[in-house]
Structure 1
Amino acid sequence: MRSAVRKMGNSSGVIIPKPFLVEIGSKSGDEVEILVENGRIVITPVRSQPRAGWAEDAKRLAEEGDDASVWPDFPNEADIDLKW
């Protein structure tokens, strides 16, 4: 497939057809990494870590005092007999 490099503000760009984005598992607005390898422009989707930022969020919630359990306790009847 051929496409043209287009002027976009002070930069230039190429429209990426939707089937190409689908093939790499990306969509409009996703973050990508762009680099040049052997005279070619390579665009790679950035895969975020599923739990990225959880530790910072948990710390912030604790500092705000908003880290109480929202689920009630569901003890078992035999819990009283457990020896730890």
Structure 2
Amino acid sequence: MIKQLRKVGNSNALILDKPILELLGLEEGGQVQLTIQNGALIVVPANPLPVDMDEMSSKLEYVLQKRKEVLRRLAE
């Protein structure tokens, strides 16, 4: 998935959709641990909420269906 950085004051922000937050067990105001490894930014919940695997699968399917056209074009 490709996301665009948004200008917020003097910084840039990465906006995460609600289904992605739910997949990560995060909510607004939640904290994340940022790590840079081999040129990649890794974002991990600092204190994740418990996640139900069936619900996670359902949310992932929702995101994949909602972004199906974009994902298809990226795969070309």
Interval containing the TM-score (normalised by the shorter chain): 0.5 to 0.7
Q: 1:12 Cα deviation (Å)?
A: 0.5
Q: Paired residue for 1:43?
A: 43
Query: Hey, which of these two has a bigger chunk of strand by percent?
Result: 2
Structure 2 matches for 1:2-21, cutoff 5 A?
A: 2-21=2-21
Instruction: Give unmatched runs, 5+ long, in structure 1.
Output: 49-84
The residue number in structure 2 matching 1:30 is 30
State the secondary structure of the residue aligned to 2:20.
helix
Question: Letter of the aligned partner of 2:39 in structure 1?
Answer: G
Q: SS of 1:33's equivalent?
A: strand
CA deviation vs aligned residue, 1:28-63 (integer Å, no higher than 9, x gap): 111111121111111111128xxxxxxxxxxxxxxx
Return the TM-score normalized by structure 1. Answer: 0.50
Q: Distance in 2 between matches of 1:25 and 1:19?
A: 10
Task: Note the 1:41-80 alignment, pairs <5 A.
Answer: 41-47=41-47
RMSD: 1.6
Amino acid at match of 1:23: L
TM-score (norm 2): 0.55
Question: Aligned partners of 1:2, 1:32: CA distance in 2, in Å?
Answer: 19
Aligned AA for 1:40? A
Residue 7 of structure 1 deviates from its aligned partner by: 1.1
Aligned partners of 1:40 and 1:18: how far apart in 2? 23
Task: Please identify the structure whose Cα radius of gyration is greater.
Answer: 1
